[in-house]
Amino acid sequence: MINVTKTHLPNKEKYKKYVDEIYEKGWITNNGPLVQKLEKRLEEYLGVTNLILVSSGTSALEIAYRTLDIKGSAITTPFSFVATTSSLVTNGIRPIFVDIDKNTLNLNPSDIKNAIKKDTSAIVPVHVFGNACEVEEISKIAKENNLKVIYDAAHAFDVKYKEQSILNYGDISTLSFHATKLFHTIEGGALIIKDDNLVKKARYLINFGIENQEAILHLGTNAKMNEFEAAMGLCVLDDIQEIIEKRQLVFNKYRKELKDIVIFQEQNNNSSKNYSYLPIVFKKKRDLKIIQEKLNENNIFPRRYFYPSLDSLPFITKTKKMKKSRYISKRILCLPLYPDLSVNIQNKIIKIIKDNL
């Protein structure tokens, strides 16, 4: 079975050495030494400061909202994984959707101003498939309207914008380290916090709001990463350059072979690529169905990232339809992309698409 992604599993013996260390120390969770080590290594690798590891990308978003005291409503994109929206709703924040740019697939900054309400306190854009948002324009709008910016950067590990990490933009950026991601810790995520003064608060929030054994300062939750997950992250980080290089070869082959028959996401000219996803957009809805069925018949399973458009979810307040997001969500398919995808399988995928379009 060929799925849209395949989890990278590092050298087993290397991972076992970390496991032996965990057993020897008996420190399994609660900001253990491997979590601390991984935080420092990631800060160095990514070129960021104030990185806090957490249990998931979703919990990273939720902690970000609480750290910044986001209330009322937040402007966000309808074209993303459901957690971008559900994390707002579960924290009592009303999502206000702004449509996307059909080419970049990111939030369209030109529409943000008109969507701001009296109770709007934040903008939550997504670097969709690792493609950098128009961060400078969004920053300008946020400053003019006294709004916080929380970037859902779940796909944007190791992406750079104008030679620096895309994670340095916004008040907080969040990452997902789920097993399907470019870099993973089995389950996990991270926050990158701009304001040094908020770091301590965020650390309290991921540990039930506890400052010490006798003081609980905030309404917190349990969002800590454990040592076994950190061990996996340390191993994967050792392999990350090889992972990216191999993914780049697969990515480039798809682009070269399919450039004349499908539509590709338009990349931000100031943004680097991390080759985390290969989305293709079909000109017709029926083409997506045909290709998906033909690939499935051959035991190949691409995925419809992202469907449905989040403005159609049953648990949000109904607003006007996000036409561009709905249009794209009905025509987009992510093809299998991972380091050890064989040339033969990739050729087969390409041939099926070419033969049926």
Q: Give the rounded percent of residues in the chain with a pLDDT score beyond 70.
A: 100
Reading the block at residue 131, the tokens are 């493609």
pLDDT tops 90 at residue 316: no
Provide the pLDDT for residue 94.
Answer: 96
Q: How far apart are CA 190 and CA 177, in angstroms?
A: 8
The closest of 308, 309, 312, 158 to 239, measured between CA atoms, is: 158
Q: Domains of the chain (ranges plus CATH)? A: 2-234 (3.40.640.10), 240-355 (3.90.1150.10)
Please tell me the predicted confidence (pLDDT) of residue 35: 98
In this predicted structure, what is the pLDDT of residue 7?
97
At 214, is the pLDDT very low, low, confident or very high (cuts 50, 70, 90)? confident
Residue with tokens 């929206």: 85
Give the helix ranges, DSSP H, for 206-342.
227-258, 285-297, 323-329
pTM to 2 decimal places:
0.96
CA nearest to 253, candidates 316, 182, 337: 337
- Give the separation between CA 63 and CA 56, rounded to whole angstroms: 11
Whether 318 has a pLDDT exceeding 80, the answer reads no
Query: Tell me, what's the pLDDT at 79?
Result: 98
Give me the percent of the chain exceeding a pLDDT of 90: 94
Cα atoms in the Cβ-side hemisphere of radius 13 Å centred on 109: 13
- Report the C-alpha dihedral over residues 199, 87, 338, 188, rounded to 10 degrees: 40
What one-character-per-residue DSSP string does 73-117 give? EEEE-SSS-HHHHHHHHTTT-EEEE-PBPTTT-SB-GGGHHHH--
Q: Is the pLDDT of residue 213 over 80?
A: no
For the segment 156-172, the average pLDDT, to the nearest whole number, is 97
pLDDT of residue 217: 82
What pLDDT does residue 1 have?
93
Q: What is the pLDDT of residue 287?
A: 97
Mean pLDDT of the chain: 96
**Is the bond into 208 cis (omega within 30 degrees of 0)?**
no
pLDDT of residue 282: 97
pLDDT tens readout for residues 7-63: 999 999 999 999 999 999 999 999 999 999 999 999 999 999 999 999 999 999 999
Condensed to tens digits (0 to 9), the pLDDT of residues 168-177 reads 999 999 999 9
Confidence of residue 215 (pLDDT cuts 50, 70, 90): confident
Read off the pLDDT of residues 104-137 as tens digits, 9 standing for 90 and up: 999 999 999 999 999 999 999 999 999 999 999 9
pLDDT one-digit tens code per residue, 25-34: 999 999 999 9
pLDDT digits (tens, 9 = 90+) for 276-303: 999 999 999 999 999 999 999 999 999 9
